[in-house]
Amino acid sequence: MPATILDGNKIAAEIRAEAAEAVKNMSATGLRPGLAVVLVGNNPASEIYVRGKVKSCEEVGIYSEKHTPSQSVTTEELLTLVADLNRRNEIDGILVQLPLPPQVDSKKILLAVDPAKDVDGFHPTNVGFLSTQRPGLVPCTPAGIMEILQRSGVKLAGQEAAVIGRSDIVGKPMAMLLLNANATVTVCHSKTRDLPGVCRRADILVAAIGRAGMVTRDFVKPGATVIDVGMNRVTDPGEFARLFAGNAKREETFKSKGSVLVGDVHPEVAAIAGAITPVPGGVGPLTIAMLMSNTVKAAKMRRGNFTAAAD
């Protein structure tokens, strides 16, 4: 029986609707949540992401503003901008779009963001809150994955989970969230011995490595829930054939566009997994939905409504 498809678009729409309702209630008391996005230079991919974030703010009712320093900006100039946004009370969330130009000290910039406004959840203070199970802001992608799992009724307590990838943005916080939900967690990476064997033990497998179709059926226990975080653009015909041979719909897309999107999980896995997230339409939509949710949460926590802190 083919895997159940976990529809990220549907779950993201639910979360955005909940955020919109919360914004409406807060705005009625004169407190409208606000998000500032800092986009340096002209990176086309970053521009697309930021456009999506600003559009989502409009839809949900969050006040948003975009700051666009030039590509030649210095670390000091960006620190001044962040300090100004930290001071402004109508700004509840600050998001610095990565990557930053090479002359800018990215770590210094991220560290300068007020942890109470750190809607990306990257600040060491928020990382510490997550690891000690205190209320704080959690990175959007792992937080979104938890929403997919919980809202789809996937059992977490007592289950074996494997996370492939140990980045600060996805892998590590994902492992911590699963651990906090009482799963038994293994974090896998490039030095893991017998990676397929380790992954095959998992009831829940999260792939966040950034390599097209690397997770094949030998990695997956039959019936497991597979979460595909990858978003890779395939342009090589040989690579396309390895992933999608015989898939007429994908072949048509590849012919007309010269590329196709694929996750870190090989499409063949859908034949043995119990449930799987598609690419596109799986984890991606949740990332922006959780940014909206985090901005609302930051506004509530900053403005003294601590009942919302543990939502």
Please confirm, yes or no, whether 66 is among the known catalytic residues: no
**Which residue from 101, 98, 102 is spatially nearest to 120, judged by alpha carbons?**
98
- State residue 251 phi and psi, 5-degree precision: -60, -40
Instruction: Choose, from 120, 203, 228, 264, the residue flagged as catalytic.
Output: 120
CA distance 175 to 159: 13
**Peptide bond connecting 280 to the previous residue in cis, omega within 30 degrees of 0:** yes
Structure tokens that stand for 306 in this block: 């601590």
Please confirm, yes or no, whether 53 is among the known catalytic residues: yes
Dihedral (CA of 259, 262, 266, 267) sign:
negative
Instruction: Choose, from 92, 97, 264, 300, the residue flagged as catalytic.
Output: 97
Contact 149, 125 (CB under 8 A): no
E strand segments, 11-152: 34-38, 63-67, 93-96
Please confirm, yes or no, whether 114 is among the known catalytic residues: no
For strands 225-228 and 204-207, give the pairing.
Answer: parallel
Residues with catalytic function: 53, 97, 120
